[in-house]
Structure 1
């Protein structure tokens, strides 16, 4: 649900986004085919922008669609973008497409999360990695960040936990800077406060993966007496016209070494 700070007005909100993007009034005016004077008048409340002008400025400032709605509401206009629940019949083709994508990626792990890392869908590759976790972490709604960083979750199994944890927290920090999401901020505060779990998982002598060059930071995680290595890729939808769709992210885990490929393929019937 889109909310607007009481008494904020669209001008200060737009100024906040412009400053966040480190764009001058003149530069924004040139991008939006306007004038620096007009941008200044909008930001100070001396001029009420049209609906089209708000959307144009938001586009050039790369404002997320949820926040575009907030800008429009602050200016007295109706929201432009719907927020359709994923289980709505209108989302049927989207759900089917995402399920096909997840199944097609097997046996490698893939997961779909929303804007606060709640798991929307996952494939059997993810289920393999979650085997043996306590029930309280696997009770819906599942949260990917909580499952990964909780000291009773995957954290003790992650061999390079300090580096992977730092990567995830930095990723959340960038998202918080991009969108004013109080639920995301609360989640960040929670997972950042988790004690750094000791890695090793109590599995004894675990075979280390063979040395190989890394083209991205790998996730190195223990499973069934071996270390699996992955690099992750995150995909989002282009030009979303719905808040729900705009906040979905598909994360796929690509095996980073031949041993991981061989092991996961061996699990495929």
Structure 2
């Protein structure tokens, strides 16, 4: 979506959908009218009238309600639209000139993570940028999975991706899907539900007697078979808590950390070889 030309406070025709949307979000968040009213600095009576369509909300109260309900920036924009107001938060293209400082900062972080894999994701799994160590996940993948934009979740769990080389696919894959289901509960979306259903179909059930065998005691590592040996990796995610742009808010930095010394050495040796070949530190065309 192209960057908007600026944030406007202009009011369009009010929509009766606002009340039902507000009630839907309040129900999803399991918040009473009184609790939400207190959070947003209004009265339960006023909130009730808004949900019934008897009172048209001002723009400021819509934003306070959206924040109190912990909606994403995209969801806040959508709620504003149902109330008849223009979106408050811009969505800047990743390759837009105005986004260059943010993009360069993200890329410096993942480049500095070498020799370990790291990437910038647009949730839930679109790869925006990655360092060269990320190529360990692309080896042997079917060409259709590598067509831009690459979807990390499909690369990981699809039978034609690296799934056949993940020794603990049942345990690790279910952990990934459970986290995705949690995101779908927090931010309902039919496309996300469809993705969860698709990915769940790729991952086998873990035998009951093996349910705990893949745990380190504090994390669920991926156990990836390579010619050099088994690579055991843990995942860390970094998000942008104070974002006021939809693109930034929906971006995360995902890094893969070695879970043992052997894995660290495998990645270090691969990166030394890549450096000798003068391969770029960042992958292009993702």
- Output the TM-score relative to the length of structure 1: 0.88
Q: Determine the structure 1 residue equivalent to 2:64.
A: 56
- Aligned counterpart, 2:94: 86
Out of 218, 227, 231, the position equivalent to 1:224 is 227
What's the secondary structure of 1:27's corresponding residue? Answer: helix
Aligned to 2:8: none
Distance 1:183 1:88 in 2: 26
CA distance in 1, matches of 2:58, 2:215: 56
**Equivalenced residues, count:** 252
| 1:46 paired residue number | 54
Q: Which residue of 2 aligns with 1:206?
A: none
Change in CA separation of 1:8 and 1:152 when aligned onto 2, cut-off 3 Å: farther
Q: Which residue of 2 aligns with 1:183?
A: 191
Secondary structure class of the residue paired with 2:103: helix
Decide which of 115, 125, 150 is 1:107's aligned counterpart: 115
Q: Return the offset for 1:213.
A: 4.2
CA distance in 1, matches of 2:232, 2:16: 47
Structure 1 residue runs without a partner (length 5+): 2-6, 198-210
Give me the whole-angstrom Cα distance separating, in 1, the residues matched to 2:204 and 2:16: 40
1:126 to 124, 129, 134: 134
- What is the match of residue 138 of structure 1? 146
The answer for the alignment partner of 1:265 in structure 2 is 268
Displacement of 1:188 in angstroms is 2.3
Whole-angstrom CA distance in 2 between matches of 1:253 and 1:101: 13
Runs of 4+ in 1 over 6 A off after TM superposition: none
Q: Which of 25, 29, 44 does residue 33 from structure 2 map onto? A: 25
Query: In the alignment, is the contact (CA less than 8 A) between 1:151 and 1:196 conserved in 2?
Result: no
| Residue 151 of structure 1 pairs with residue 154 of structure 2 | no
What does residue 234 of structure 1 align with? 237
CA distance in 2, matches of 1:85, 1:231: 30
In the other structure, the counterpart of 1:248 is 251
SS at match of 1:77: coil
**1:135-176 Cα deviation digits (max 9, x unpaired):** 221121111111111101111111110111111111221122
**Structure 1 counterpart of 2:180:** 172
Q: What's the offset of the Cα at 1:267?
A: 2.3
Tell me if the contact between 2:137 and 2:156 (Cα under 8 Å) persists in the aligned partners.
no
Change (3 A) 1:229 1:177: same
User: Over the residues paired in the alignment, what is the CA RMSD in angstroms?
Assistant: 2.1
**Does the CA-based 8 Å contact 1:86-1:95 persist in structure 2?**
yes
In structure 1, distance between residues paired with 2:19 and 2:155? 40
